[in-house]
Chains A and B, each alone.
Chain A
Amino acid sequence: MTVAAGIGYALVALGPSLALFVSVISKKPFLILTLLSSTLVWLISLIILSGIWRAFLPLNSATWWPFAILLFTSVAFQEGLRLLFWKVYKRLEDIMDAFADRVSKPRLYLTDKMQIALAGGLGHGVAHAVFFCLSLLTPAFGPATYFVDRCSQIPFFLVSAIIALAFVMVHTFSMVIAFNSYAEGNKVDQLFVPVVHLAAGMMTLINFASGGCIVGIPLLYLMAILTLMHCGRMVSRRLTENHRQGSS
């Protein structure tokens, strides 16, 4: 695609992440570190998954169920890693709280913890967008464009950018929900995150059908918006609770 279009696609996929980074993450170095390490963890999870699945390649693209199994195992693995990520974070939080006590500085606020979760989620989202969208754009600069047969209304790159944006939203806000639910011990929310992640992944299988992207992509965005709203509700609930606790 042309340079102008390429920048456009990249901004569609990563523009909101960039905005979030600039306005929130870049202000605190610890958040930047969290973002980078979570990106790394996500990429490592992909490497491990691809190592395991290498033995089963190439998958027959005429049928959809091998991909369903692939998605299921990948999501399961990544959710497992999320739990691990949480455990590491919990340990770090304890260390930081202990350190704060020692130097008589305040402990981590709730908003700080949420920002750390947000940075973690954003790391996952950015990794997803870079891996599944940006990597397609970089070799494709040139005068031509490309349309896929099964989704022939919009250019292929635009489709992948839109899907990447949806997943950025899902990953970013899922992490906030997940960390909060682990902290609170809320079983429903703990289940919410893997279910939504899996559902979002499975939605993309609808794109296999001819013209399926017209149905699949809106459904995917439904998942993303669901995650966003749930996260918003949860955050506002916790903040008001905390505020009431603090003031009382």
Chain B
Amino acid sequence: MWKSYNFPVFLLSESSTSTLQEIAMKNEKTERAYTTNVAEFDVVMQTTKVGTHDSESCLKEETCLPLGGYSRKKMSFANRSDVYSYGDITILLRGGMLRGGSVWSALPPIDRLSSNQSKPIILAVASMDAQSFFRDKSLGADSPISGMISLLAAVDALSHVDGLDDLNRQLVFLVFTGEAWGYLGSRRFLLELDQQSDAVHGLKSTLMHLVMEIGSTGRGLNQGNKTFFAHTEVSSASNETLDALKLAQESLKSDGVTISTANSSNPGVPPSSMMAFLRKNSSTSGIVLEDFDTIFANKFYHSHLDDSANINSSAIVAAASLVARTLYVLASDNKNLTSSALSAINVNASLVEELISCMLDCNPGLSCELVKSYISTTNTCPNHYVGVVLGEPSSTPHPNQVDDISRFVWNFLADRTSTPKGDTSVCSQDCGKKGGVCIRAETDGKGVCVISTTRYVPAYSTRLKFDSGTWQLLPPNSSDPMGMLDPVWTESNWNTIGLRVYTVQDAAYDRLVLLGGITVTVLAYLAILLTRAYITKALKQD
């Protein structure tokens, strides 16, 4: 997929594909020798037209935009010489995609006003963007959306637990975007953490106790048993997490859930956001939860075929239960941990089903009840392509600058992590001052103010800087090893993309018709002259 092709590739819908197949067959067995059916491609990529074939030049010429959060209208595509997109046989316009950033949320909410912000943090991480050859068909059901759904379901399960305030450690959930394109989200997050920007207010890298990433979980079903694997880097100290996982597994024994440590011959963690954390600080205690051990279980990794048929909801529910109980164990730091408390944490399987049908299917898609209760959107088919950054990235974007999935995740997390339950009021100016956020602002106009610590974090490459209206490419920095390998993905500006198929006649046939028309006219003229001469002669005859 990373290869460069010098021809456009179109992905057509089912109906268009069958139409095109019919037409191609007609071409094969045509009775008329002078006609053929042809296809006309209408695809204009500004970078190709202008000749700026790499990110640096196209950013300078403003013929492209960098991938990441907070984009607005023009879409883009990764900077390859020609592009591919999802097309319909008549006209295609995928316009107006808005991008969002990564989202983080704390459970229970961090008290901004309190000076006691020194609880160690347990970070649970997932990602919400996918990639495929066709940017409009990037569902990423198994990799990584199944992990995100597991995390959201785990948050929902934990939100019903009492006494989280009294636990020794703070739980923070983090959903990155842009991970499929060089781990933009995680790298930018860590940079913002270093810079202690507004977006990460309340978090400190010194407080990070351990990181648990939930990778793909949708294919963990093996003959009725749900098996998952914990991948760690060789040198990191993650025994505590592994013990917690074992405890959680014990409590879920009746559901047939198993978690094992990944094979020691594996070279560390699989491709994941954890890599960014480990490159920054190799002693970070972290594990990556996946549904595979030595080789990927997802044969449609980064493919447009990684859709809801590729995953199993019971595996996701199992992973979510595992994650929820493990996080509880970790947060309680073994103090007053009772098996009854643990078995009270249950994941709502119908919520998982609903999330799958909202995030990974076109029907009902984003017009499902769950999504509609938080955000208003005109799209129904979900798509998890990261999009582009338009304008200046900020930590408080306007809701209409953020894409549907990010807005939904933000609203969902804010709602689930809010306290106390039921104490809500209509949104007003001082909602933020009270330490609250406005959720459901799009559905009923005003919104509801809840006390929650949920923020957006911009997601774009650490090698980019937005300076006085244009994007500058920063030179590779040796202190940012992942940044040194980052090709800085950008998407060309493009116009309407379309594909037309029609019948054409041979030019020779056209010329024959023209000749025929002229001949008819000339013959008619001659006939008229002859008739006129005859009549005149007949009249003159005497």
Measured CB to CB, the residues of A under 8 A from B are 1-2, 4-5, 7-12, 15-16, 18-20, 22-24, 111, 143-147, 152-153, 155, 158, 161, 165, 235-236, 239-240, 243, 247
**Closest residue of B by beta carbon distance from A14:** B521
Known: A8-B510, A8-B513, A16-B521. A143 touches B504 (CB 8 A): yes
Measured CB to CB, the residues of B under 8 A from A are 31-32, 35, 40, 502-505, 507, 509-518, 520-522, 524-525, 528-529, 532, 535, 538-539, 541-542
- Establish whether residues B510 and A2, one from each chain, have CB atoms under 8 Å apart when the complex forms: yes
Residue of A8, A20, A144, A161 touching B503 (CB-CB under 8 A): A144
- Establish whether residues A144 and B504, one from each chain, have CB atoms under 8 Å apart when the complex forms: yes
Please report the C-alpha to C-alpha distance between residue A243 and residue B502 in the assembled complex, in whole angstroms.
Answer: 60
Residue of A5, A18, A19, A165 touching B505 (CB-CB under 8 A): A5
- Establish whether residues A8 and B539, one from each chain, have CB atoms under 8 Å apart when the complex forms: no
Inter-chain pairs besides A2-B510, A11-B520, A19-B522, 11 sampled, C-beta below 8 Å = A5-B514, A7-B514, A8-B510, A8-B512, A8-B513, A15-B521, A16-B525, A20-B524, A23-B532, A111-B539, A145-B505
Once A and B bind, how many residue pairs between them come within 8 Å at the CB atom?
96
Cβ distance A164 to chain B, nearest Cβ, rounded Å: 12
- Establish whether residues B520 and A15, one from each chain, have CB atoms under 8 Å apart when the complex forms: yes
- Establish whether residues A19 and B535, one from each chain, have CB atoms under 8 Å apart when the complex forms: no
Residue of B32, B528, B535 touching A239 (CB-CB under 8 A): B535
- Establish whether residues B517 and A8, one from each chain, have CB atoms under 8 Å apart when the complex forms: yes
- Establish whether residues A153 and B513, one from each chain, have CB atoms under 8 Å apart when the complex forms: no
Cβ distance A1 to chain B, nearest Cβ, rounded Å: 7
What are 25 A-B pairs with beta-carbon distances under 8 A? A1-B505, A2-B510, A4-B513, A5-B505, A5-B513, A5-B514, A8-B512, A8-B515, A15-B517, A15-B524, A19-B521, A19-B528, A22-B525, A23-B525, A24-B528, A24-B532, A111-B535, A144-B504, A145-B35, A145-B505, A152-B31, A236-B538, A239-B535, A239-B538, A239-B539
Interface of A is mostly: helix
Please report the C-alpha to C-alpha distance between residue A2 and residue B515 in the assembled complex, in whole angstroms.
Answer: 14
- Establish whether residues A5 and B503, one from each chain, have CB atoms under 8 Å apart when the complex forms: no
Q: Which of B514, B515, B525 has the most CB of A within 10 A?
A: B514
Known: A1-B505, A147-B35. A16 touches B524 (CB 8 A): yes
- Establish whether residues B517 and A9, one from each chain, have CB atoms under 8 Å apart when the complex forms: yes
- Establish whether residues B517 and A19, one from each chain, have CB atoms under 8 Å apart when the complex forms: no
Please report the C-alpha to C-alpha distance between residue A221 and residue B528 in the assembled complex, in whole angstroms.
Answer: 19
Interface of B is mostly: helix
Within 8 Å CB of A8, what residues of B? 510, 512-518
Please report the C-alpha to C-alpha distance between residue A246 and residue B51 in the assembled complex, in whole angstroms.
Answer: 85
Top 5 nearest A-B pairs by Cβ distance? A11-B517, A15-B521, A16-B524, A8-B513, A144-B502
Within 8 Å CB of B511, what residues of A? 4
Known: A5-B505, A24-B532, A145-B505. A11 touches B510 (CB 8 A): no
Residue of A1, A19, A24 touching B510 (CB-CB under 8 A): A1
- Establish whether residues A18 and B504, one from each chain, have CB atoms under 8 Å apart when the complex forms: no
Within 8 Å CB of B516, what residues of A? 8, 11-12
- Establish whether residues B517 and A7, one from each chain, have CB atoms under 8 Å apart when the complex forms: yes
**Closest residue of A by beta carbon distance from B538:** A239
Residue of A22, A23, A165 touching B520 (CB-CB under 8 A): A165
